[in-house]
Amino acid sequence: MDNIIKQWNLAALKYTSEQENSEYVRINKNIVQNRFRSFNGEKILDLGCGYGFYTDYFGSKGANAIGIDGSEKMIEIARQQYPLSEFCLMDITKPLEFEKDSFDIVFSNQVLMDVENIDFVLSECKRVLKNKGLLYFSIVHPAFYDGKWIKDENGYCRAKALEKYISLYSFTNSHWGETEHFHRPLSYYLNTAAKNGFMLKEANEPVSYDGKIKNRDIPLFFFAEYIKTE
C-alpha cells in the first residue's frame, strides 16, 4: 500500500483539479447529495476522503463528519480547501484508529477499486460501525470500466468490448499520473461485504452518458448501500 499512497501523493493536485471539472463527478455528487440531504448529528467516517469534498458536504448538512486518507498530499489539499472540516492522515488498509461502534455511517466514494485488500478494509468498516449502521460505497463499474469503446461509422460509442471480467487483476491508470487499479467482478464486492456482516439494502447503476456521444445504457458507476447486521 505504501507504493499506492506514493502514487496518490504525486497525482493529488491533478486529480483534484480534474475531478472538480468533470461532468461524471457532477453525476456522482448529485447521486450522493440526493441520497444524503440532511443529518441530525450522525457520526460519519469518510473513508478515503481524497480532497475532502464529501466530508465538508456532510458537515454542512448537520453531520459530525471526519475524513481520513492515506495520502499526505490529499489531506493537505483537503485541509486547505475545507478548513472548517476535520481530516486525519490514516492508512485505510491498516487498523483504523477508532473505537468499536464509533460511527453511524461509513462512506467511501470511488476508493475500494484502488485498494488491494478490501476484505480487511470492510472488516474494519464493520468494526467501527454501530449496530445497524450504514455502509455506503461507490466504485467504477467493474463490468465495463476496463472495456474499450466500439464506435460506429459516425463516431458514436455504441458498445464496450471486454477481454476478461471474472479474473482478478490489476493495471495502472494514467488519468492523473500513475495510479494502480484493482479489477474484481461485481460478485467479489457483494460477497466480500456479505462475508463481513453487511446486508445489501440498495444498489444503483446510474445513467452516466448522454446518449449522444456515448451509449447511455452502459453504466460508469456502481453504488451500494449496506446495513451492518452483526
Residue 180 within a domain: no
Give average pLDDT by consecutive 10-residue segment, the chain, 230 residues.
88 91 91 96 97 98 98 97 97 97 98 96 98 97 96 96 96 91 97 96 95 95 94
Structural domain of 83? 2-141+190-212+222-228
Residue 155 within a domain: no
The pTM score is 0.96
Cα 167 to Cα 162, 178, 182, 193, 196, distances in angstroms: 12, 22, 11, 19, 22
CATH number of 74's domain: 3.40.50.150
Residue 115 within a domain: yes
CA dihedral 193, 134, 207, 158 (to 10 degrees): -10
pLDDT number for residue 177? 86
Residue with cell 486529480: 15
Q: How far apart (Å, rounded) are the C-alpha atoms in residues 103 and 108?
A: 13
Let me know: does 230 contact 210? Beta carbons within 8 Å: no
Q: Are strands 198-204 and 43-47 parallel, antiparallel or unpaired?
A: unpaired
Number of domains forming the structure of the chain = 1
Cβ of 216: how many Cβ atoms within 10 Å?
Answer: 12
Residue 59, C-alpha cell as written in the block: 458537515
pLDDT number for residue 21? 85
